[in-house]
Structure 1
């Protein structure tokens, strides 16, 4: 543990003071990002110049904690860094955002994780080349005294399974809900899925998990039925195509419903899955609620860098969960925060607080 005391609350706490008592613990990756923006992705053996560059904190769990803290919820990170200069920068960046770094494990002699990120301005894409630490968190790190004390929500980013699985198991036993970020099928994914209450994944994960299914929604349903058997819902984010939630217990009347926050150009709509069918002999399976939320309108300057947009989305969803918001409200908040995130360079450069969002999105 790095021994730093919890930092003071951000300005968001004064705006929505009811969020300040809540604390989330984010487990997984924290690192340093070296970002370079180029006019177009280079061809092999080319020499090109950057149009902009930055060095900033990164890592899924760490970025999620920062996004949640900017919205006024207390956030702590359990991750692994080295005692090198990069490790100091990682910790300093989190502390400057008001994130509690006391649970972070600092390993002597370890090279801290880092990522090279190449942003293609023409194509609007970003390519990440990650250098992980040589070792990972252990079960002993997860057993540190007091880790779950006062925690309202545990977030696991799908990495560091040796620590994440026992910590999620302890959270379930303590009645603490678990939110999982799923990017790909990793070591430990099969052990984590039955322990989580909520999942946010990218567009690719459902089909990676269930390649036998025809379509993303069918794969999401399979994920809930066979893997994440205790989860209430799964959200799949798809960039400018918005996000789709599949959840158990659909509306009793099965009628489409809509949610449109005042002054917000986003309408969250409900349907059901599987869709209605006239096939009398077909087995419908478990009927689920489909909640679709479009992407947030692009910022005036357009997309600068999509790095960390998914983490920002998850941070906002975590805030909505601890605040007791409905699924429509937390999805609208998530898409708004992610939409703001793509307007700045780096995983945290385009982040926002409540002052940057329409008042109707407050939870």
Structure 2
């Protein structure tokens, strides 16, 4: 029997014949955080010992993995989530919201005791920034809570596995099984964590926060840090670093190009040359790729063969920018879709940036995640 979500996508696409069909292989598995966000928008961030009123507020599901998979589901993928919550009121709300968005929650561990994860988010409408105060779930997830039968079922027919860096002990078990089955792995590298390196070494694709590459590699610049990451992670095909309003930067490894006649160029200089090609008048997301495969050198670090791509972000009018909460999760969800749809990098980066930009026009992460049929995505899907 067809699920309600699959019937929705079929009817939506029938009404919008210009939208390409969803990828044939679209089951993705995510392992990581699921929680509740308590969001309050304020006119300005409070000073110490000050009482203020919110201008608007919202309570909705959160957590990096849960958000990214929710976004992926709205774009047309069939996500399964491995995570842990408690059997409390927030936990029941988490389950209900994920199910309503088409995320398979069969693999969530529900603890009879403890509490579900939650996050206080204060959104400053003046500076367009947000501050998060996170409380992790208790007790934390441990590998024994995911049976071999559940793990096997979760990975059955999966096109991709995604990790947000939480529950690293359990995540490593899932990643090892995915590697054994030759299922590609994408990792969201937000910040270094205990045990995270073991997981990262199994990755096929990495999407980083702006601070992670240099924090992890100690390289002097972001471009040189990306070179260092590919040298330290030989299985990784590409690494993307998201830079907020400054867009993103991608280093795409090309191992088939190990030939001596490749031009050798210092990586920072290539990035600067690509940035000079950005049209400052263009307000929509674009991609500026290097024209060919090069031997990219980071002085004191080493060399890799690949292509560099600079992605721009949408220039959102101040009157439309509401909240950046979940923008990174939207980018991840769109990247998962793009890989499943075999989008080339030149198309993937603007698409992911546009999905993130649409999200920023609403308070909270999930309020802003677009559906596949959103007309603002049409130019990036066709």
TM-score, normalization: structure 1? 0.89
Tell me which residue corresponds to 2:246. Answer: 241
Between stretches 286-295 and 58-67, larger displacement belongs to: 286-295
CA distance in 2 between partners of 1:68 and 1:283 (Å): 36
* Unaligned 5+ runs, structure 2: 14-19, 264-269
Tell me which residue corresponds to 1:307. Answer: 325
| TM-superposed deviation, 1:20 | 6.0
CA distance in 1 between partners of 2:312 and 2:365 (Å): 21
CA distance in 1 between partners of 2:197 and 2:329 (Å): 22
| TM-superposed deviation, 1:110 | 2.2
CA distance in 2 between partners of 1:283 and 1:230 (Å): 18
Tell me which residue corresponds to 1:22. Answer: 26
Equivalent in 269, 274, 282 of residue 288 of structure 2 = 269
Equivalent in 223, 226, 237 of residue 220 of structure 1 = 226
Tell me which residue corresponds to 1:122. Answer: 126
Between stretches 291-300 and 70-79, larger displacement belongs to: 291-300
CA contact under 8 A between 1:299 and 1:343: conserved in structure 2? no
CA distance in 2 between partners of 1:141 and 1:330 (Å): 36
* Unaligned 5+ runs, structure 1: none
Tell me which residue corresponds to 1:291. Answer: 309
Matched, 1:188 2:210: no
Greater helix fraction, Structure 1 or Structure 2: 2
CA distance in 2 between partners of 1:344 and 1:87 (Å): 24
CA distance in 2 between partners of 1:352 and 1:250 (Å): 35
Tell me which residue corresponds to 2:16. Answer: none
CA contact under 8 A between 2:66 and 2:81: conserved in structure 1? yes
Equivalent in 309, 331, 339 of residue 321 of structure 1 = 339
Q: Secondary structure at the match of 2:347?
A: helix
Aligned pair count?
A: 352
1:246-265 matches, cutoff 5 A = 246-249=251-254, 265=284
CA contact under 8 A between 1:82 and 1:106: conserved in structure 2? yes
CA distance in 2 between partners of 1:276 and 1:220 (Å): 11
Matched, 1:131 2:149: no
Matched, 1:63 2:67: yes
CA distance in 2 between partners of 1:25 and 1:120 (Å): 34
Tell me which residue corresponds to 1:74. Answer: 78
CA distance in 2 between partners of 1:30 and 1:340 (Å): 22
Alpha carbons of 1:291 and 1:128: their partners in 2 closer, same or farther (altered >3 Å)? same
Matched, 1:50 2:57: no
CA distance in 2 between partners of 1:141 and 1:292 (Å): 42
CA contact under 8 A between 1:165 and 1:192: conserved in structure 2? yes
CA contact under 8 A between 2:283 and 2:315: conserved in structure 1? no
TM-score, normalization: structure 2? 0.85
For 1:77-129, what per-residue CA distance to the aligned partner results, in whole angstroms no more than 9, with x for missing partners? 11100000100000111111111111111110121000000011111111100
Alpha carbons of 1:184 and 1:273: their partners in 2 closer, same or farther (altered >3 Å)? farther
Alpha carbons of 1:283 and 1:47: their partners in 2 closer, same or farther (altered >3 Å)? closer
Equivalent in 80, 88, 91 of residue 84 of structure 1 = 88
Equivalent in 200, 206, 216 of residue 207 of structure 2 = 200
Alpha carbons of 1:58 and 1:108: their partners in 2 closer, same or farther (altered >3 Å)? same
CA distance in 2 between partners of 1:82 and 1:210 (Å): 36
CA contact under 8 A between 1:259 and 1:328: conserved in structure 2? no
Matched, 1:8 2:5: yes
CA contact under 8 A between 1:10 and 1:98: conserved in structure 2? no
For 1:275-326, what per-residue CA distance to the aligned partner results, in whole angstroms no more than 9, with x for missing partners? 689x9xx996223321111002316842211010000000000001111111
| TM-superposed deviation, 1:9 | 2.4
Alpha carbons of 1:275 and 1:128: their partners in 2 closer, same or farther (altered >3 Å)? same
CA contact under 8 A between 1:310 and 1:338: conserved in structure 2? yes
CA distance in 1 between partners of 2:125 and 2:318 (Å): 15
CA distance in 2 between partners of 1:27 and 1:273 (Å): 35
